């Protein structure tokens, strides 16, 4: 495992996807244990696409995470897609992780709720009630965190918002096979804001796909800019980025 630092951001480059997942899961477990030593229960934010197979697999193998004291919040959802739809991130999160580890509760967003303003208010109340201390995120090909595509709003103190999904993000979603074609991919999403994602004490980001190597180079070697949203991770006091060899291949 290679270790580097960019700004305040710690970066680990794993030799294998398994090593990436296990290292990130170990940090997640340590952060959770530290919080549960002081509180009866906590909230955490989990993203579905955060090196899903390697990271989720490592989480499921661990025996030192007290899931029964953890409430899970989600990062984003597609507008028009309810949380009970097979295409929703909520259903896939349950299938790939939560049904096996059994958290105290999972509180997803409902993309089909109307009016959407009520859903934004509902989820903002949930976030503020749990005040999550740990956040797990993936990074998109646009450099987004959750659905905060460029130009991302670094200044808002809102917790949730409706966002327009740019063509890069919709293309990435289409490649993942969740929808039959890019034309079927929703145009809008509901997302935690950059502020909400970076407010937790510990932020862990994971990237393993080779297609993201160009944007990883921009995130780490370019300036901090809302045109590359994840570049702001360089300014978080306790953020850690885990990369595969493929995603780190273009770094100097």
pLDDT tens, 18-77? Answer: 999 999 999 999 999 999 999 999 999 999 765 578 999 999 999 999 999 999 999 999
Q: Rounded to 10 degrees, what is the CA torsion of 112, 115, 119, 124? A: 150
Burial of 240 (0-12, 13-18, 19+ CB in 10 A): buried
Q: Which element (helix H / strand E) includes 197?
A: helix 194-198
Q: Is the model's pTM score more than 0.85?
A: yes
pLDDT tens, 226-237? Answer: 999 999 999 999
Record the tokens describing residue 29, joined without a space.
Answer: 């477990």
CA distance 205 to 239: 8
CA distance 235 to 237: 6
Record the tokens describing residue 209, joined without a space.
Answer: 């796909």
Pairing mode, if any, of strands 188-192 and 160-164?
A: antiparallel
3-state secondary structure of 57: helix
- Let me know: does 201 contact 133? Beta carbons within 8 Å: yes
Give pLDDT, residue 174. Answer: 66
3-state secondary structure of 219: helix
CA distance 250 to 190: 32
Percent pLDDT > 70 in the chain is: 97
Burial of 129 (0-12, 13-18, 19+ CB in 10 A): exposed
Cα-Cα-Cα-Cα dihedral sign, residues 228, 90, 101, 103: positive
Point out the least confidently predicted range of 135-144, 167-176, 188-197: 167-176
Q: Give the CB-side neighbour count of residue 145, counting CA atoms within 13 A.
A: 29
**Please, what is the average pLDDT of the chain?**
93
Map out the domains of the chain as residue ranges: 2-210+222-243
Q: For residue 241, which phi and psi values (nearest 5 degrees)?
A: -110, 125
Class of 2-210+222-243 in CATH: alpha beta
């Amino acid at each position: 495992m290679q270790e580097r630092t960019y700004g305040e951001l710690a970066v680990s480059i794993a030799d294998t996807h398994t090593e990436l997942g296990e290292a990130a899961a170990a940090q997640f477990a340590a952060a959770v244990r530290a919080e549960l030593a002081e509180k009866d229960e906590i909230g955490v934010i989990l993203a579905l696409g955060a090196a899903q197979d390697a990271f989720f697999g490592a989480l499921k193998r661990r025996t030192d995470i007290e899931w029964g004291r953890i409430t899970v919040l989600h990062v984003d959802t597609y507008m028009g897609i309810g949380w009970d739809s097979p295409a929703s991130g909520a259903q896939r999160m349950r299938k790939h992780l939560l049904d096996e580890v059994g958290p105290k509760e999972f509180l997803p967003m409902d993309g089909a709720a109307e009016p959407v303003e009520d859903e934004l208010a509902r989820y903002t109340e949930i976030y503020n009630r749990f005040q999550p201390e740990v956040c797990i995120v993936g990074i998109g090909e646009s450099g987004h965190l959750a659905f905060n595509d460029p130009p991302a709003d670094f200044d808002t103190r809102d917790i949730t918002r409706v966002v327009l999904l740019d063509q890069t993000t919709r293309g990435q979603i289409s490649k993942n096979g969740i929808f039959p074609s890019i034309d079927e991919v929703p145009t809008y999403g509901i997302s935690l804001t950059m502020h909400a994602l970076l407010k937790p004490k510990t932020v862990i980001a994971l990237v393993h796909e080779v297609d993201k190597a160009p944007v990883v180079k921009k995130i780490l070697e370019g300036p901090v800019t809302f045109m590359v949203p994840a570049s702001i991770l360089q300014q978080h006091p306790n953020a850690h980025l885990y990369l595969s060899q493929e995603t780190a291949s273009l770094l100097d």
